Amino acid sequence: MSKAEQTRHFIIEKTVPIFNKKGYFATSLSDITMATGLTKGSIYGNFKDKDDLATHVYTYQSKKIAEAINQQITQQKTSLKKLFSFLDFYKDNFKNIASSGGCPMMNAAIEADDSLSFLTPKVRRSFDLWRQRLIVILQEGIANGEFKPNISSENYAITFMAMIEGGILLSKISGRVKDFAIVLDKMKEMIDREIKV
């Protein structure tokens, strides 16, 4: 990494928790300079504007989450274990997700929809990739006889995504970790009852 790349990476890493907790729109340049210890000139010397920085921060966060989930999933040998390990990732990492401001994909989706349209294509792509990853796992399970042949992979993928995001939001608002645990347990029940052969 060149010195310029190191500086950009430093700014992104320091800005991630601020954007995720305060929101992209509410985060000020003063928040960014305070977190990084850099001047306004240094920030704008590395990023075109706040929108450019926000785009890089979102890309960094979504990629980091996707890689962590993928690493956990690819260690599993069966489709059922891959599906359960996907849920276990959220169970194991929920406290970190909650303390850092919630799911960055959901936070960005809400803001992109309301006021930051420049983020919409990136956020949509993240959710598309997530849905596709779940669909592939479910279709592999059908193909190898682990899952029922008549299930709709896409319907279940969308349902799981909605349950995870809704569970995170509910648990974050209520301040009760058990709310999200209830959602994850219900998802495992669904897999056992409706999907698994």
- Can you give the residue ranges of every domain in the chain? 3-195
pLDDT of 78? 97
Amino acid at 106: M
Q: Which residues are CB-neighbours of 171 under 8 A, at least 6 positions away?
A: 94, 98, 177, 178, 179, 180, 183
Q: Domain 3-195: which CATH class?
A: mainly alpha
Q: Determine the average pLDDT of the residues in 44-55.
A: 92
Quote the mean pLDDT of the chain: 91
Q: What is the largest CA-CA distance in the chain?
A: 60
Q: Determine the average pLDDT of the residues in 100-112.
A: 81
Choice between 1 and 78, residue whose per-residue pLDDT is larger: 78
Tell the residue number behind the tokens 């592939």, with chain if given. Answer: 136
- At what angle are helices 120-143 and 50-74 packed, to 10 degrees? 10
- At what angle are helices 177-190 and 153-174 packed, to 10 degrees? 160
193: DSSP letter? I
Predicted TM-score of the model (pTM):
0.88
pLDDT of 26? 87
pLDDT of 85? 94
CB 31 within 8 A of CB 119: no
C-alpha–C-alpha distance, residues 11 and 7, integer Å: 6
The answer on pLDDT for 1 being more than 80 is no
Phi, psi of 175 (to 5 degrees): 75, 15
pLDDT of 158? 97
pLDDT bin (cut points 50, 70, 90) of residue 117 is: confident
pLDDT of 96? 81
pLDDT of 56? 93
Residues 51, 68, 36, 104: what is their CA dihedral angle, to the nearest 10 degrees? 40
Q: Which residues are CB-neighbours of 86 under 8 A, at least 6 positions away?
A: 69, 72, 73, 134, 137
Percent of the residues in the chain that have a pLDDT greater than 90, as a whole number: 66
Q: Which of 17-21, 101-105, 192-196 has the lowest mean pLDDT?
A: 101-105
pLDDT bin (cut points 50, 70, 90) of residue 145 is: very high
Q: Determine the average pLDDT of the residues in 174-193.
A: 94
Q: Is 46 exposed, middle or buried (0-12, 13-18, 19+ CB in 10 A)?
A: buried
